[in-house]
Structure 1
Amino acid sequence: MKLLHLDASILGAHSVSRTVSAAIAERFAHEIPDLHVVYRDLAADPLPHLSGAQLAGRAPGAENAPELQAELAASDAALDEFLSADIVVIGAPMYNFTLPTQLKAWIDRVLVAGKTFRYGASGAEGLAGGKRVVVALARGGFYGAETPQASAEHLETYLRAVFGFIGVTDLTFIAADGIAVGPEQREQALSGAVRRAEELKAA
């Protein structure tokens, strides 16, 4: 069984989402014998953002410069990692009400027509079902459905839409909320999220 572990926070060792995603990955490694883990740090080694040149470079017979060939190869590698994974763990902090640009660049590599979804007579059909996706969220404020800021939450809602679109139904979010409110709230949110991560079951 394969697990793909992604982190997108730019805060390094100070990141709450990295701490929680590591706890999630560690839990699965403990629960599943011979689990093969692939780790990708989207902040330290970011994928280039999707461009017109990249799209044109996919055309049959395209003659691409070495720099573009390298970008296309990186895109293929990211997609292959996702397709081959049984479990995907993502550390996703909220920046300015939404996801980090580095995580969006990765998503643009895995939402590929004919690979993870297709359009038919009935509309879009996800092709990436059967995976388990667990997301560690870190948010500076409180954005639950019952809060005044609920309408500004474009991280969890976006990721639910993205993975639902490609057919993922086994989707879990573990959130650490209010981490910018103060040190006590940060510690409480982090410890609670880590505890929930440590309670995850492999099946």
Structure 2
Amino acid sequence: MNWNWLEDLISGVNNYSTVFGRVWLSVVFIFRVMVFVVAAQRVWGEESKDFECNTKQPGCTNVCYDHFFPISHIRLWALQLIFVTCPSLMVVAHVKYREMKDLKYTTTHEGKHVYARPGKKRGGLWWTYLVSLILKASFDAGFLYILYHIYEGFDLPRLLKCSIDPCPNIVDCYVSRPTEKKIFTFFMVVSSAV
């Protein structure tokens, strides 16, 4: 597969980005997307199959799993990465618009460029960039709040007590590899906060 188009796109946007934006892009691609694709999906995998409760009652394990994990961590992080990276498309679109506008101006005015320095943020591009930063930070903060609120913290216990119908009484349920999952949860939370 040819990834030159992505490299051209990112380098074009980096011409108009601040140092903070370049660092953010590196953190997202290296520490979040790569860790998500390479490691986190394998750690979490299909965790509902590895969730065990000490009962034979049909449906009890599924109901307890759904109660304690209403949305999978891995799916929540995938959704978060989509929402956090989408505001960059506004900047990409604005950069492409500006490049086409500059090209049109240059061709109609016999090669004279009106701007002193291409790559400088000015006017609408500055506001587009600022709005995208605010949206990115808001999405990250929002998803951290959702994760914290749904799971009542960022800790992952080894043992969960469940007494929801159709369970006959209070049953003990066990999460597989809780320490490994806890480490990845903290890693994703810290990288989101950064």
> What's the TM-score bracket when you normalise by the shorter of the two chains?
under 0.3
Using structure 2 for the length normalisation, give the TM-score.
0.27
Structure number with the higher helix fraction is 2
Larger CA Rg, structure 1 vs 2 = 2
Structure number with the higher strand fraction is 1
Structure with more contact order per residue of length (Cα contacts < 8 Å, sep ≥ 6): 2
Using structure 1 for the length normalisation, give the TM-score.
0.26
